[in-house]
Amino acid sequence: MNKETIRHWLQFLSNGIWRITEDEVTPVQRRLYSCIKIIILSVRQFLSDRIPVRASALTYSTLLSIIPILALLFAIARGFGFDSFVETMLRNNVTEEQAELIISWINSYLAHAQSGIFIGVGLLMLLWTVYNLIDNIERSFNTIWQVKHPRTMFRQITDYFSMILLFPILIVISGGLTIFMTTYLKEMENFLLLAPVIKFLIRLIPYMLIWGMFIGMYTFIPNTKVRLIHAWFPGILAGSAFQVFQYIYVNSQIWISNYNAIYGSFAAIPMFLLWTQISWTICLYGAEMSYVSQNLASFDFGKETANISRRYHDFFCTIILSAVCKRFEQGLPPYTAEEISRGHRIPIRLTKRILYELQDMRLIYEAVNEGKDRDISYVPGVDINQLTVGMLLTKLDETGSEDFKIDHAQYSDSWNALIKAREDFAKENERILIKDL
């Protein structure tokens, strides 16, 4: 392979592949190019979003919250009589020394939380640390998914605390299923064909539980609609990587002995920080892959979108606002961002960016479709019979901060000339309604 061929492929991967539309390639080529794009973009987004830094922030939050969260889980499990299952699960996922240390901390925390004045303050602190960790996790996922608005506090409490209440029950179900399958396997040892299959399924149960946990996180934590088709593969990939790392971590006793020689009884802390940091990195990378997979089309024409001219930006604002107004005038269900992007061949990332800008200018508002999917759609925020091109251009000019220490008197000629030109241009378009374009 000569230099010219290598240069051609590098140019294709860096520029050409992002400018190919669906009607220019066969279905097989489209799938192949999509896989290449997902791999490239996952690594690129991993670096540009500074995922290791976000993982470090979540590690800090986890360190503050892990004992209260485990104490809450153990308290719930004890209430149902399932604490032995939860303790067994904990011992199977960390070293014996760390398990003993964590369990002693949990018992001490619960003992103090149930006595004296600490029962009120301790309960509030417990719930606050749990809420704070969940909030940080959601904000990290929302940042990856470029979601501006997190869930309300009420939705966070109802959504996530219900998951915490169900988590011990899921652990018990998993443990009970494993015991049942093991007992059933002893009765089927004479069946040479089925016994290996049952053994394989038993060994697969922990992986399936972790896969389900990661898929559930990628689907439900971001405050946006995540399609399961784009979450299952990243969930399986991240869950498998987590299980492999967990196996290496638990079985690397030589690391623990070396750290014990250096840190003594504190050896569990740096190892726990390492485990948490790598675990969150794996989790967030899977979230990046899920986001890239679902929003792959938004990365097409990425360079052009990032460097769009003011003229084309205003042009697309007019097209999108006109589509929203026409849809409203016709009495049809409002457009979603995907429908606008697909119908007018505007890159989805640019479409969403302009829709956010139009919302900030209060020219449109979000609405929820009443159909099965309950997608976010957009309706006019101004009377469509008064919304003109001139009004849109004026809003675009006025959006943003103008609080600078500039002496207008010194530059009065420049300022007045600019304002006069803008007013004349807007006035000429005051009679043109957006809905009539």
SS3 229: helix
pLDDT (average), residues 159-184: 64
User: Does residue 388 share a domain with residue 282?
Assistant: no
User: Does residue 255 share a domain with residue 138?
Assistant: yes
In Å, how far are 35, 354, 357, 417 from 215, measured between CA atoms? 20, 31, 32, 58
Most confident of the ranges 26-40, 249-263, 271-285:
271-285
Per-residue pLDDT tens over the stretch 195-226: 566 667 767 777 888 888 889 889 988 888 88
User: Does residue 243 share a domain with residue 127?
Assistant: yes
Q: Which two tokens stand for residue 349?
A: 């990332």
**Average pLDDT, whole number, for the chain?**
76
Q: What is the pLDDT of residue 281?
A: 92
Q: Residue 101: CB partners within 8 Å, gap ≥ 6?
A: 265, 268
* Helix or strand run (H / E) with residue 378: strand 376-380
User: Does residue 364 share a domain with residue 276?
Assistant: no
Q: Domain range spanning residue 7?
A: 3-48
User: Does residue 327 share a domain with residue 293?
Assistant: no
Q: In this structure, how many other beta carbons lie within 10 angstroms of the beta carbon of residue 337? A: 22
pLDDT classification of 285: cutoffs 50, 70, 90: very high
Q: What is the pLDDT of residue 258?
A: 58
User: Does residue 337 share a domain with residue 246?
Assistant: no
User: Does residue 80 share a domain with residue 42?
Assistant: no
* Helix or strand run (H / E) with residue 377: strand 376-380
Instruction: Report which of residues 137 and 258 the model is more confident about.
Output: 137
Look at the chain and report how many structural domains it folds into: 3
The residue from 269, 297, 325 where one domain ends is: 297
The residue from 265, 297, 329 where one domain ends is: 297
User: Does residue 323 share a domain with residue 232?
Assistant: no
Q: Record the pTM.
A: 0.69
Q: What is the pLDDT of residue 36?
A: 79
- Does 407 reside within a domain? no
pLDDT (average), residues 268-273: 74
Q: Which of 363, 388, 372 is nearest to 333 (CA)?
A: 372
User: Does residue 26 share a domain with residue 141?
Assistant: no
Contact call for residues 311 and 247 (beta carbons, < 8 A): no
Q: What is the pLDDT of residue 25?
A: 67
Q: What is the pLDDT of residue 320?
A: 92
pLDDT above 90 for 153: no
Share of the chain above pLDDT 70, in %: 71
- Does 417 reside within a domain? yes
User: Does residue 43 share a domain with residue 55?
Assistant: no
Q: What is the pLDDT of residue 20?
A: 67
pLDDT above 90 for 19: no
pLDDT above 90 for 284: yes
The residue from 252, 280, 297 where one domain ends is: 297
Q: What is the CATH number of the domain that holds 323?
A: 1.10.10.10
How far apart, in Å, do the first and last CA atoms of the chain sit?
53
Q: Which two tokens stand for residue 9?
A: 């492929």
Query: Residue 271: is it exposed, middle or buried by C-beta count within 10 angstroms (0-12/13-18/19+)?
Result: buried
Crossing angle between the packed helical segments 337-344 and 310-329, to the nearest 10 degrees? 110
SS3 103: helix
Instruction: Report which of residues 420 and 21 the model is more confident about.
Output: 420
Q: What angle do CA 339, 341, 342 make, to 5 degrees?
A: 65
pLDDT above 80 for 103: no
pLDDT (average), residues 346-366: 86
- Does 406 reside within a domain? no
Q: Which of 136, 420, 152, 168 is nearest to 283 (CA)?
A: 136
User: Does residue 98 share a domain with residue 182?
Assistant: yes
